[in-house]
Amino acid sequence: MLIIGLDPGLGTTGWGVIAKSGNRLSHIANGQVKTDPRASLAERLVTLDRELTGVILSHRPDAGAVEEVFVNTNAQSTLKLGQARGVCLLALARAGLPVSEYATRVVKKALVGTGGAEKAQIQAMLKVLLPGVKLAGADAADALAVAIAHAHGGNGAYG
């Protein structure tokens, strides 16, 4: 089974694809979709959709998992993040994939054992769980963590 995890963001959305065979996990690919901050919001969302659709068509996952929105104190930032997250959900659903959603604390707990884990702990655990993985960046690492949380039997908020 192939699982794609997404860490939504308007500026950078991370993605990670893993394979699950029984209890064994293996890294397939990871990357980041970056949008041009000088482009309009609509153009940035189109770029995000186009790039994610390409990743999905290229890897043909069987399921998708998306990190839930982290609420910022800045309402504008939260709204933009929510819009990027909506594009992520749409791209997965349009591909016919079952989609699950995971809170950040759930993802951290699935990987490290505590919901308060730091990013460095997550990245260290990724290297243990996916030997030889070369991370495309912090957002790609977070996306792989979401995929692994799903692989570890999480049903997600809506999955």
Please check whether residue 117 lies inside any domain of the structure. yes
Please check whether residue 107 lies inside any domain of the structure. yes
Residue range of the domain that includes 81: 2-151
Number of domains in the chain: 1
Q: Which residues are catalytic?
A: 7, 67, 139
Residue type, 67: E
pTM comes to: 0.93
Please check whether residue 157 lies inside any domain of the structure. no
Question: 13, 33 in Cβ contact below 8 A?
Answer: yes
pLDDT digits (tens), the chain, 159 positions: 999 999 999 999 999 999 999 989 999 999 999 999 999 999 999 999 999 999 999 999 999 999 997 767 788 888 889 999 999 999 999 999 999 999 999 999 999 888 888 889 999 999 999 999 999 999 999 999 999 999 997 655 433
Distance CA(67)–CA(9), nearest Å, equals: 10
At 97-142, the pLDDT tens digits run 999 999 999 999 999 888 888 889 999 999 999 999 999 999 999 9
Q: Domain containing 147 — which CATH number?
A: 3.30.420.10
Using the structure block, give the residue that is written with the tokens 């692994």: 148
